[in-house]
Amino acid sequence: GESVGLHLPTLSVQEGDNSIINCAYSNSASDYFIWYKQESGKGPQFIIDIRSNMDKRQGQRVTVLLNKTVKHLSLQIAATQPGDSAVYFCAESLSGNTGKLIFGQGTTLQVKP
């Protein structure tokens, strides 16, 4: 059947504020999670990942939190900058399987100057 475009949720933040992007994943057996940033007209860019044996991982200005109890993943961006404006996708994977990434719906982050 023909696919219908989905409306991506949008998060609008002021430059310099912190951003929190949330994602609910579907498979309780998934054990590897990734956040990707996709700017307009470009491919997804890896931001940060986390494995299921952790509940928090920090990178440069970004933190990923994993709550396996409620199958929830979040991405926190500190001191959001205009260059952070993009669509953010979470993805889940079951290691040892085909390596297939299942992408979430995506959130559009708009940074207001």
Partner 1 sequence: DAMVIQNPRYQVTQFGKPVTLSCSQTLNHNVMYWYQQKSSQAPKLLFHYYDKDFNNEADTPDNFQSRRPNTSFCFLDIRSPGLGDAAMYLCATSISYNEQFFGPGTRLTVL
How many C-beta atoms surround the C-beta of residue 75 within 10 A? 24
Question: What's the CA gap between 5 and 67, in Å, rounded?
Answer: 29
CA neighbor of 35 nearest in space, from 88, 93, 102, 113: 88
Q: How far is the CB of 86 from partner 1 (least distance, A)?
A: 13
Which one of 3-11, 50-58, 61-69, 70-78 is the stretch in contact with partner 1 (CB under 8 A)?
3-11
Amino acid found at 82: P
Site track for partner 1 across 74-113, x = CB under 8 A: ---------------x---x-xxxxxxx-xxxx-------
Binding site for partner 1 (CB under 8 A): 2-3, 5-8, 34, 36, 41-46, 49, 89, 93, 95-101, 103-106
